[in-house]
Structure 1
Amino acid sequence: MMVLVDDAGGAYPRIDHSPWNGCTLADFVMPFFLFIVGVAIALALKRVPSMRDAVKKIILRTLKLLFWGILLQGGYSHAPDDLSYGVDMKFIRWCGILQRIALVYCVVALIETFTTKLRPTTLSPGHLSIFTAYRWIGGFVAFIIYMVTTFALYVPDWSFVDHNHDEKKRYTVICGMRGHLGPACNAVGYVDRQVWGVNHLYSQPVWTRLKACTFSSPGTGPLRKDAPAWCHAPFEPEGFLSSISAILSGTIGVHYGHVLIHFKGHSERLKQWVSMAVVLLIVAIILHFTNAIPLNKQLYSFSYVCFTAGAAGIVFSGFYLLIDVWGFRTPFLFLEWIGMNAMLVFVMAAQDIFAGFVNGWYYKDPDNTLVNWIQEHVFVKVWHSERLGTLLYVIFAEITFWSVVAGICHKLGIYWKL
Structure 2
Amino acid sequence: MGFIRSYYWHWFVAAVLLAIHSGLLYGLYVPDWQFDVSAATSSLPPIDSGNVYKVNCSVRGDLGPACNSAGMIDRYILGLDHLYKKPVYRNLKECNMSSTGQVSDSSPSWCHAPFDPEGILSSITAAVSCIIGLQYGHILAHLEDHRGRINHWLGFSVSFLALGWFLAILGIPPNKSLYTVSYMLLSSAASGITFMALYVLVDVYGHRRLTSALEWMGKHSLSIFVLVSSNLAVIAIQGFYWRKPENNIIHLIVSRFHQK
Give the TM bin, normalised by the shorter chain. 0.7 to 0.9
**Match among 117, 128, 132 for residue 237 of structure 1:** 117
SS at match of 2:36: strand
Whether the 8 Å CA contact 1:242–1:299 is kept in 2: the answer is yes
Match of 1:344 in 2: 223
Deviation at 1:248, TM superposition (A): 0.8
Please tell me the residue identity of whatever aligns with 2:218: G
Q: How far apart are the structure 1 equivalents of 2:169 and 2:227?
A: 39
Match of 2:147 in 1: 267
Whether the 8 Å CA contact 2:239–2:245 is kept in 1: the answer is no
Please tell me the residue identity of whatever aligns with 1:271: N
User: Structure 1 residues 375, 150: CA separation in 2 closer, same or farther (over 3 Å shift)?
Assistant: farther
Higher relative contact order (CA 8 A, sep 6+): 1
Please tell me the residue identity of whatever aligns with 1:311: A
User: Structure 1 residues 353, 379: CA separation in 2 closer, same or farther (over 3 Å shift)?
Assistant: closer
User: Structure 1 residues 377, 146: CA separation in 2 closer, same or farther (over 3 Å shift)?
Assistant: farther
Match of 1:177 in 2: 59
Whether the 8 Å CA contact 2:238–2:245 is kept in 1: the answer is no
Alignment of 1:2-401 (within 5 A): 128-134=1-7, 135-136=9-10, 137-163=12-38, 164-167=44-47, 168-214=50-96, 222-290=102-170, 292-353=171-232, 355=234, 371-375=237-241, 377=243, 381=247, 386-387=252-253
Whether the 8 Å CA contact 1:294–1:301 is kept in 2: the answer is yes
Deviation at 1:143, TM superposition (A): 1.0
Match of 2:41 in 1: none
Please tell me the residue identity of whatever aligns with 1:211: K
Q: How far apart are the structure 1 equivalents of 2:254 and 2:61?
A: 42
Please tell me the residue identity of whatever aligns with 2:37: D
User: Structure 1 residues 347, 390: CA separation in 2 closer, same or farther (over 3 Å shift)?
Assistant: farther
State percent identity of aligned pairs.
36
Please tell me the residue identity of whatever aligns with 1:305: M
* TM-score, normalised by the number of residues in structure 1: 0.54
User: Structure 1 residues 311, 215: CA separation in 2 closer, same or farther (over 3 Å shift)?
Assistant: same
User: Structure 1 residues 249, 221: CA separation in 2 closer, same or farther (over 3 Å shift)?
Assistant: same
User: Structure 1 residues 212, 285: CA separation in 2 closer, same or farther (over 3 Å shift)?
Assistant: same
Whether the 8 Å CA contact 1:381–1:389 is kept in 2: the answer is no
Q: How far apart are the structure 1 equivalents of 2:248 and 2:75?
A: 47
User: Structure 1 residues 351, 314: CA separation in 2 closer, same or farther (over 3 Å shift)?
Assistant: farther
Note the residue ranges of structure 2 that are not aligned, 5 or more in a row: 39-43
Aligned residues: 247
Whether the 8 Å CA contact 2:90–2:97 is kept in 1: the answer is no
Please tell me the residue identity of whatever aligns with 1:256: Y
Deviation at 1:277, TM superposition (A): 0.8
SS at match of 1:295: coil
Deviation at 1:387, TM superposition (A): 3.4
Deviation at 1:247, TM superposition (A): 0.5
CA deviations over 1:290-316 (Å, ceiling 9, x no partner): 4x1111111010001001000000000
Deviation at 1:225, TM superposition (A): 4.5
Whether the 8 Å CA contact 1:208–1:220 is kept in 2: the answer is no
Deviation at 1:182, TM superposition (A): 0.8
Please tell me the residue identity of whatever aligns with 1:202: Y
Deviation at 1:131, TM superposition (A): 3.2
User: Structure 1 residues 252, 376: CA separation in 2 closer, same or farther (over 3 Å shift)?
Assistant: farther
Please tell me the residue identity of whatever aligns with 2:192: G
Whether the 8 Å CA contact 2:14–2:128 is kept in 1: the answer is yes
Please tell me the residue identity of whatever aligns with 1:386: L
Deviation at 1:155, TM superposition (A): 1.2
SS at match of 1:171: strand
* TM-score, normalised by the number of residues in structure 2: 0.85
Note the residue ranges of structure 1 that are not aligned, 5 or more in a row: 1-127, 359-370, 392-418
Q: How far apart are the structure 2 equivalents of 1:378 and 1:330?
A: 37
CA deviations over 1:216-251 (Å, ceiling 9, x no partner): 7xx885434432110110001110111111101101
Q: How far apart are the structure 1 equivalents of 2:232 and 2:254?
A: 24
SS at match of 2:111: helix
User: Structure 1 residues 197, 297: CA separation in 2 closer, same or farther (over 3 Å shift)?
Assistant: same
CA deviations over 1:301-349 (Å, ceiling 9, x no partner): 0001001000000000000000000000122122222212221111123
User: Structure 1 residues 303, 345: CA separation in 2 closer, same or farther (over 3 Å shift)?
Assistant: same
Q: How far apart are the structure 1 equivalents of 2:197 and 2:65?
A: 35
Q: How far apart are the structure 1 equivalents of 2:132 and 2:241?
A: 40
